[in-house]
């Protein structure tokens, strides 16, 4: 590494989720955010996905700090994994830190990590970087963007942001600070692209109050509001409206309950005395005086809403007269799951409100006009669209070009491309920037090969063929046993299975002293070919050859 300024996106560019960025000057690294992403419906058995930070592994002693923009999962969800591997100081605002502590405690890491609180307006020096967090509006309080001054110039990282003039907490994005950055001259702007394909301006959070008020006024019974566990601003709005309408609230779901507790403790959630009650208490109140908040707006099978939809919640049942509000957007790829949950809720007699059918959700991300406003306020020399799928990044790049930033100073790249900021903005080599799958406690052991196998198992099932043989003669003994799951309905397929036995027998006869592994290979090859020829499907074939 020479004394140049480099920007290496490790997550969140080319996808929505698992945001992470490495900003480097000489041999000094500053990491921004460490998020997770939730799996798509075809990623079987995967709990969540971490950024691939393998690139940092041999540079750990150069990492000066990790700075966090806000408390959403796609920014802090991977933090405990990251800090377990790199024990570096972490900086966050008060609420974000509180939410991080919940995670670090669960991971038993809280005692051995060095957490620091910063606030908008602070100036923090780490290595050659001077970090200035500034307040931004988003769907969670205490979110910041970052001014990062390096010897090679000022970088502005927008975090996730919108320009809301009437935010829930009454604290708009810090225009003055942005103007001040502009006055100093901005070398590079890294800006949130999530909503880059939406023209106009994102609606203010204030519009939701009317929608919630209408729902709670008209609902004949309980109101169940589902949203993301970390959407603290949304929880505040539901609390406000419920209190006005004389309804009590219970919160279900462990993460949402813990986040609420932490946000209240730190003063970011204002709940009037007596409004928040337990689930047991709520069941004893008249239905029309109650609100239940839950998670599960993406159709996640283990979340509260899905369990309610299929009637598998341990203490709650959906019935006639319930009103369910899904206050969230649909993450692309989850549509099918969500629609299934909504249909089942209707089946059980509930009335369901969801976006875009009813105005029960607004985004926390800037639309095109707000993205233009940020570019105009900062007038950066170079521009890198971040946080979004490639189509969002492309569109944001186009917007920047329309605003007068020359094309050669705009880098539209996906994760892993090393950007060097010099005279020009150079796009260099590509380092890893893919997926690290987390399945239960296993991190990174599940690779693409295993995912393909799970996919094949899910689609075509498996066929296991067990055969005994004598090593001395190399010949099979007795009949093989064929076991199938998810491949074919066995009654009616006896003929096919008998022929599969024959195929196994002839593939299992080999020269004297042939090792079992060799015979397994032969059986697998022959059986796969046979099954494909007969059924045009490719089940996973598992040969088991045992010595008699």
Give the residue numbers annotated as catalytic, written as ranges: 192, 365
Residue 270 CB, shortest distance to Zn ion, in Å, is 21
310: which residues sit within 8 A by CB, 6+ positions away? 344
Residue 37 CB, shortest distance to Zn ion, in Å, is 10
Which one, 169 or 187, has the nearer CB to Zn ion?
169
Residue reference for tokens 């099954």: 531
Between helix 254-265 and helix 94-106 the angle, nearest 10°, is: 140
Residue 44 CB, shortest distance to Zn ion, in Å, is 25
Residue 231 CB, shortest distance to Zn ion, in Å, is 9
Which one, 23 or 242, has the nearer CB to Zn ion?
23
Contact 256/229 with Cβ under 8 angstroms?
A: yes
When asked if residue 389 is in the footprint of Zn ion (CB under 5 A), the reply is no
Which one, 366 or 507, has the nearer CB to Zn ion?
366
Q: Which stretch binds Zn ion (CB under 5 A): 67-75, 167-175, 366-374, 393-401?
A: 67-75
When asked if residue 74 is in the footprint of Zn ion (CB under 5 A), the reply is yes
Taking the alpha carbons of 422, 425, 430, 431 in that order, is the dihedral positive or negative? positive
Contact 101/107 with Cβ under 8 angstroms?
A: no
Q: Where are the alpha helices (DSSP H) in 300-351?
A: 304-309, 335-347
Residue 174 CB, shortest distance to Zn ion, in Å, is 17
Residue 429 CB, shortest distance to Zn ion, in Å, is 27
Q: Which stretch binds Zn ion (CB under 5 A): 72-80, 146-154, 307-315, 528-536?
A: 72-80
Closest CA to 464 of 491, 490, 492: 490
Give bridge partners of residue 438 from the DSSP assignment.
Answer: 48, 443
Which one, 79 or 421, has the nearer CB to Zn ion?
79
Residue reference for tokens 């707000």: 370
Chain center to CA of 537: 33
Contact 300/306 with Cβ under 8 angstroms?
A: yes
The two tokens of residue 318 are 């959906």
Q: Which stretch binds Zn ion (CB under 5 A): 73-81, 170-178, 366-374, 398-406?
A: 73-81
Which one, 142 or 160, has the nearer CB to Zn ion?
160
DSSP H/E element including 483: strand 475-485
Q: Which stretch binds Zn ion (CB under 5 A): 69-77, 88-96, 389-397, 526-534?
A: 69-77
Spell 174-189 as b/e; 16+ CB within 10 A means b.
beebbeebbeeebbbb
Compute how many residues bind Zn ion; rule: CB under 5 A.
3
The two tokens of residue 275 are 């409004």
Binding mask 105-134 for Zn ion (x = CB under 5 A): ------------------------------
d(CA 408, CA 330): 35
d(CA 279, CA 121): 41
- Exactly one of 6, 18, 64, 72 binds Zn ion (CB under 5 A); that residue is 72
d(CA 154, CA 105): 35
Which one, 11 or 299, has the nearer CB to Zn ion?
11
Query: What residues numbered 449-508 form the site for Zn ion, per CB under 5 A?
Result: none
Residue 70 CB, shortest distance to Zn ion, in Å, is 6
Residue 374 CB, shortest distance to Zn ion, in Å, is 16
Which one, 237 or 460, has the nearer CB to Zn ion?
237
Which one, 11 or 416, has the nearer CB to Zn ion?
11
The two tokens of residue 420 are 């060097």
Chain center to CA of 402: 31
Q: Cβ–Cβ contacts within 10 Å for residue 247, how many?
A: 24
Task: Tell how strand 223-226 and strand 290-294 pair up.
Answer: parallel
Query: What residues numbered 151-180 form the site for Zn ion, per CB under 5 A?
Result: 160
Q: Which stretch binds Zn ion (CB under 5 A): 66-74, 268-276, 312-320, 406-414?
A: 66-74
Contacts with Zn ion, residue ranges (CB under 5 A): 72, 74, 160
């Amino acid at each position: 590494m020479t004394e140049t300024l480099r920007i290496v996106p490790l997550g969140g560019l080319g996808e929505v989720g698992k945001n992470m960025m490495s900003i480097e000057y000489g041999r000094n690294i500053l990491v921004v955010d460490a998020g997770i992403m939730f799996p798509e419906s075809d990623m079987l058995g995967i709990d969540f996905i971490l950024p691939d930070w393998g690139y940092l592994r041999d540079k750990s002693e150069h990492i000066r700090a990790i700075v966090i923009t806000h408390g959403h999962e796609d920014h802090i969800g991977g933090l405990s994994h990251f800090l377990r591997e790199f024990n570096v100081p972490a900086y966050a605002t008060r609420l974000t830190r509180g939410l991080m502590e919940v995670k670090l405690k669960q991971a038993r890491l809280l005692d051995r990590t060095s957490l620091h609180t910063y606030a908008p307006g602070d100036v923090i020096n780490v290595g050659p970087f001077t970090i200035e967090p500034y307040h931004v509006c988003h769907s969670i309080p205490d979110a910041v963007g970052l001014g990062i001054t390096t010897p090679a110039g000022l970088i502005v990282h927008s975090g996730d942001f919108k320009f809301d003039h009437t935010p829930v907490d009454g604290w708009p994005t810090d225009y003055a600070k942005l103007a001040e950055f502009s006055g100093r001259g901005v070398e590079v702007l890294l800006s949130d692209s999530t909503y880059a394909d939406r023209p106009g301006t994102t609606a203010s959070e204030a519009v939701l109050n009317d929608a919630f008020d209408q729902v709670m006024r008209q609902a004949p019974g309980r109101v169940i509001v589902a949203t993301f566990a970390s959407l603290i601003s949304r929880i505040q709005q539901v609390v406000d409206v419920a209190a006005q309408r004389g309804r009590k609230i219970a919160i279900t779901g462990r993460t949402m309950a813990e986040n609420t507790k932490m946000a209240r403790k730190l003063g970011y959630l204002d709940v009037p005395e007596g409004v928040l009650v337990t689930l047991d208490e709520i069941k004893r109140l008249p239905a029309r005086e109650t609100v239940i908040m839950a998670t599960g707006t993406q159709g996640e099978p283990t979340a509260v809403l899905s369990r309610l939809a299929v009637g598998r919640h341990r203490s709650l049942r959906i019935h006639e007269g319930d009103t369910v509000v899904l206050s969230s957007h649909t993450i692309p790829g989850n549509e099918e799951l969500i629609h299934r949950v909504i249909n089942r809720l209707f089946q059980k007699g509930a009335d369901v409100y969801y976006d875009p059918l009813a105005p029960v959700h607004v985004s926390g991300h800037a639309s095109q006009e707000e993205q233009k406003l940020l570019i105009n306020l900062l007038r950066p020399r170079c521009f890198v669209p971040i946080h979004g799928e490639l189509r969002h990044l492309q569109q944001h790049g186009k917007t920047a070009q329309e605003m007068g930033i020359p094309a050669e100073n705009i880098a539209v790249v996906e994760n892993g491309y090393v950007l060097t900021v010099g005279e020009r903005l150079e796009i260099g080599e590509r380092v890893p920037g893919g997926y690290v799958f987390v399945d239960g406690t296993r991190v990174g052991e599940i690779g693409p090969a295993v995912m393909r196998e799970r996919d094949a198992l899910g689609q075509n099932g498996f066929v296991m063929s067990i055969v005994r043989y004598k090593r001395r003669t190399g010949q099979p003994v007795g009949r093989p046993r064929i076991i199938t799951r998810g491949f074919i309905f066995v009654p009616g397929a006896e003929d096919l299975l008998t022929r599969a036995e024959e195929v196994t027998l002839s593939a299992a006869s080999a020269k004297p002293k042939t090792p079992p592994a060799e015979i397994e290979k032969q059986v697998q090859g022959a059986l796969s070919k046979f099954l494909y020829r007969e059924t045009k499907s490719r089940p996973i074939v598992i040969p088991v050859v045992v010595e008699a």
